Amino acid sequence: MRKKITKAIFPVAGLGTRFLPATKSIPKEILSLVDRPLIQYAIDEAREAGIKEFIFVTSRGKGALEDYFDGAPQLEQSLRKKNKKELLEELKRSTMDSGEIVYIRQREALGLGHAVWCARRLIANEPFAVILPDDVIAAEKPCLKQMVEAYENTGGCMVAAMEVPPSMASAYGLLDIEENMGSLLKIKGMVEKPEPEDAPSNLAVIGRYILTPSVLKNVGTLKKGAGGEIQLTDAIAMEVENGSDVFGFRFDGQRYDCGSKSGFLQATIAFALSRPELRDELMEFMVETVESRRAAQ
C-alpha cells in the first residue's frame, strides 16, 4: 500500500523583487487576490488534497507571513460580539494549529532545488508535495487533489504540466515525453529553461509536485545548473536516469502566474468575477472602461 501524501513544502524564501516597492515591507506571498493572500489559496488547496503538515522554507524578512497564521484573539472577540459568524469562519481558515506548520530558513538564495532540500530532515522517508504559491490554479477539483488521486495509481514522482508557446520555453522546465497517456505522461527526461530550438516539447512544469525522498538525495549531489541555481527539475530528471517512474500530469483548471504583475492582475480579475457579490459591478466597470478607451482611439 502506498504511503499517503500528508506533508507539503512551500518554498517562500524569494524576495519578490518584481513587486517592489510593495514587497519592501510585506512578503509577496501575502499580497491579496481580492480578499485572500496568495498563500491562503495554496494552503486551502493543500488541505483539500489531504495535507496535514505544512513546511515553509522562508528567509529573513518573512515575519509577517508567519504572523498571518497566528490566532488573533482581539479580532476574534470583536467579531463574536458583533455576531459576524461568516467573517469568523474566514478568519478560522487562516489560523494554523500549534505544530501544524513549521518554518525553516533558506540562508542563501540557491534555487528551488536547494529550498526544497532545506526541508529534508522533516521529510525523512516519506513521499511529499511541493506547492509554489506564485502558481494559483482555479479548478473545480483542486490541482494537487487531482494529482494525489492519480499518484495513488502510479506511485513515483509527478509534476503538473501545461502547454506553453515556444517563445516561453526558456522560462520553464520542459518535459521530454516517452508515452502520452492522456492526462498522464510518462517522462523520459526534463530540460530546465531550454532555448526554443532545444525544447523537447511544449509541455512545461508548473508549481505542483509529488516527489519521493530520493529526489532530496539527488539534490544533495547537484551543482548549480540553469541560472546559476540548484534546479529541482535536474534532481527529478535524475530519477528517470536511475530507472524510477516520473510522470507529467495535465490538470483540469486555469493557472495564473502570480509571480508576474500581469498574471497577478489577471488572477485578481478572474477571481473577483467568480464572486457573485462582486461580478456585476466589476463587469459594468470593465465594459465602461473598454468602451471609453475604444472611443478615445
pLDDT level of residue 278 (50, 70, 90 thresholds): very high
* Domain around 127: 7-259
Which pLDDT tens digit goes with each residue over 100-148?
A: 889 898 888 888 999 999 998 999 889 999 999 999 999 999 999 999 9
pLDDT higher than 70, residue 226: no
Q: What pLDDT was estimated at residue 227?
A: 64
How many domains does the chain contain in total? 1
Residue 240, domain member (yes or no) = yes
Is residue 261 very low, low, confident or very high in pLDDT (cuts 50, 70, 90)? very high
Q: What span, in angstroms and rounded, lies between the C-alpha atoms of 279 and 277?
A: 6
Residue 26 has pLDDT above 90, yes or no: no
- Decide if 86 is inside a domain: yes
Res 106: pLDDT: 86
Which pLDDT belongs to residue 107?
83
Q: What is the CATH classification number for the domain harbouring 12?
A: 3.90.550.10
Q: Is the pLDDT of residue 212 over 70?
A: yes
Beta strand 128-131 with 203-211 is antiparallel
Reported as a single tens digit per residue, the pLDDT across 47-96 is 999 999 999 998 887 788 888 888 778 888 888 888 888 888 888 878 77
Is residue 275 one of the residues assigned to a domain?
A: no
Q: Is residue 190 part of a domain?
A: yes
Higher pLDDT, 191 or 284: 284
The amino acid sitting at 35 is D
User: Residue 294 domain-assigned?
Assistant: no
User: Which tens digits make up the pLDDT trace of 169-185?
Assistant: 788 888 988 888 888 99
Is 271 within the bounds of a domain? no
Residue 291 within a domain: no
Whether 105 maps to a domain, the answer reads yes
More confident of the two residues 61 and 254 = 254
Per-residue pLDDT at 225: 64
Q: What is the largest CA-CA distance in the chain?
A: 65
pLDDT one-digit tens code per residue, 144-162: 999 999 999 998 999 999 9
pTM of the predicted structure, to 2 decimals: 0.89
